[in-house]
Structure 1
Amino acid sequence: MELRQLRQALVLAETLNFTRAAERLHMAQPPLSTSIRKLEEELGVTLFERLPTGLKITHEGEAVLRQARRALFFVEEVRRAARAGEAGEQGLLRIGFTGSATYVLMPNLIRAFRAAYPRVELMIDEATTSELLRRLEQQTLDVALVAFPVMEPTTCDIAPLVEGRMMLAVGPESRLAARTEVTLAEIADQPFIIHSRTLAPNMHTMTMDAFRTAGVQPRIVQEAAQVHTILRLVESGMGVGLVADFVARYAGGGVKLLPVTDAATQLRMGLALAMLPEACTAIARNFAALAHSMYPERTGA
């Protein structure tokens, strides 16, 4: 049994005439008659009763044609799904993101992507930048929103979307809360919360390099993997910490962000889109195109 035979049978059922059906199918009448007869032989039933006045669909024919319509519908659904998948309009997109992206990129990007591609299913997972890059290389993620600069070796493409500077987060009870700016030297005696050496090595290295250049040894009291953890620890009064300026309006709880005047050029960070080129799907390319259209200037939000 072939799909073309089912289509031929359905057209014949609509016309109840071999000649008219053959015309609609753009074929000669004898091959159509032969095709229908072979279909009946294969099924072991008579689909059409041949009468002097024309054709009549048999009871068995009604049942077969009903299922034929369903079969052809699902075949077309498979083709449509294949076309949509090839265009990146249907399927699954696995997105990873680092904590900082929660405040800036994620809400806008996810909302816009869902509106543009409603048939794409999203699987979203938070992790550190190092973990996200590892998962991209293992192909368990399709795209990731990571912190940059990325100082570790990676085969992923890193495309900056949002850029900013690191600022000092201080709690309402800190002696620095009344200040409008600080230097790294003034932070030396403060309990300092730093990005984790193992879980966020890029941010840890950048911070320590800045202190080293300034000739300052920070008094580290706690390491944290994500920016929201640093903010909550600062808010609780555990110490001070460096976070990106684009999270300022989300700090809350009286946390204040102060510019660090003597390390403005060193303490630069941002958010980027990371992808593995050889594993890039059509859906991932659509997500990347949308991200770059929404953040073309690569400036702080």
Structure 2
Amino acid sequence: MIALDEERNLGRAASRLHMSQPAASKALTQLEEQVGYVLFERTSQGTRPTAAGTVMILHARHTLGSAVRVAEELQAAQERGTTLLRLGTLPSAAVTVAPSLIAALCQRMPALEVTLVEGVLDNLLDRLSVDELDIVLGRLGGRPLPAECEAMHLHDEPICIVSAPGHALASLRGQQLRDLRGRSWILPLPGTMLRERLERAFEQAGLPVPPARIHTNSLLATLAHIGQSDSLAVMPTAIAGFYRDRGSLDVLPVRIDANFGAIGAIYRQQGARMPAVQAALDWLGQAREPEVR
């Protein structure tokens, strides 16, 4: 079903599975007889799933993801004597929450083996929904959670203004956004959460968004450009603090009323949890900031 959904052509799906087309057609017919519904229909655009087929495909992907997980767990236990934890992370948690979590778990569980995947939210949530990941860390929001998934709020993340180390503005106190007019900027891409929050902060201060020659959503590109110029940029505070402590940038002492959003963990609610997954959720539950009334 997964192959046919991705190929949208019975012949190509059969070839991908090393089956003859008649055998693949017979397998589909048997499956449709078992569930009692037509699962795919032939159209001028190819073979497409029906509403019932879409439901079955989702279950098929989750079943396949669970089967792969079982195989990986068995191999890790038998061949390496380890247990697995598969984490997905957005850049907003890659240098903050993720390293702290992994360090704590590795100290507590000497046989732990961690796979850490960085990506965009949509892709990570898709992998979580089919059991290819155990937990996704990063900024919450942006799209509805997959079915049977839940989010744990960890903390809210303000944003700050950064510059190259030793920038002339880094040592000046009492500055406001209006004092930065005329400066060169590297701005987040339009439509991103960071850009929207920055625009709102300038609007609340009664100022236009400053012009910029560079617009990027790349953290590494931003670091590289501010390191070779006197341009200013914005970052979530925790990420900026990580690079400031390593001498890669300065955080300007400028008050900016903007919040990047909630940082949290997304995980599946149901199903048997391996000890490493439960240990990770327990640590995250203890590490989160208490909710403020």
Asked if TM exceeds 0.5, the reply is yes
Q: How does 1:12-91 map to 2 (within 5 A)?
A: 91=83
- Do the aligned partners of residues 218 and 172 (structure 1) sit closer, same or farther apart at CA in structure 2, a change above 3 Å counting? same
1:210 and 2:204 aligned: no
- Do the aligned partners of residues 178 and 117 (structure 1) sit closer, same or farther apart at CA in structure 2, a change above 3 Å counting? closer
**1:258 aligned residue:** 252
- Secondary structure of 1:290's counterpart equals helix
Cα distance between partner residues in 2 of 1:227 and 1:160: 24
Q: What is the letter of the counterpart of residue 274 of structure 1?
A: I
Q: What is the letter of the counterpart of residue 205 of structure 1?
A: E
1:191 and 2:189 aligned: no
**1:95 aligned residue:** 87
**1:182 aligned residue:** 175
- Do the aligned partners of residues 210 and 296 (structure 1) sit closer, same or farther apart at CA in structure 2, a change above 3 Å counting? closer
The answer to whether the Cα contact below 8 Å between 2:94 and 2:118 also exists between their aligned partners in 1 is no
Number of equivalences: 211
Q: What is the letter of the counterpart of residue 99 of structure 1?
A: P
- Secondary structure of 2:252's counterpart equals strand
- Do the aligned partners of residues 290 and 279 (structure 1) sit closer, same or farther apart at CA in structure 2, a change above 3 Å counting? same
Cα distance between partner residues in 2 of 1:118 and 1:276: 25
Stretch moving more, 124-133 or 109-118: 124-133
* Structure 1: gaps of 5 or more residues: 1-80
- Quote the sequence identity (%): 18
The normalised TM-score by structure 2 is 0.58
- Do the aligned partners of residues 185 and 139 (structure 1) sit closer, same or farther apart at CA in structure 2, a change above 3 Å counting? farther
- Do the aligned partners of residues 94 and 223 (structure 1) sit closer, same or farther apart at CA in structure 2, a change above 3 Å counting? farther
**1:240 aligned residue:** 232
Q: What is the letter of the counterpart of residue 161 of structure 1?
A: L
- Secondary structure of 2:110's counterpart equals coil
**2:25 aligned residue:** none
**2:105 aligned residue:** 113
Cα distance between partner residues in 2 of 1:241 and 1:234: 8
Q: What is the letter of the counterpart of residue 198 of structure 2?
A: T
Cα distance between partner residues in 2 of 1:118 and 1:91: 10
**2:139 aligned residue:** 147
Cα shift at 1:219: 1.5
Deviations 1:102-151, CA, capped at 9 Å, x for gaps: 43222221121123333443211122445434443454322121025x34
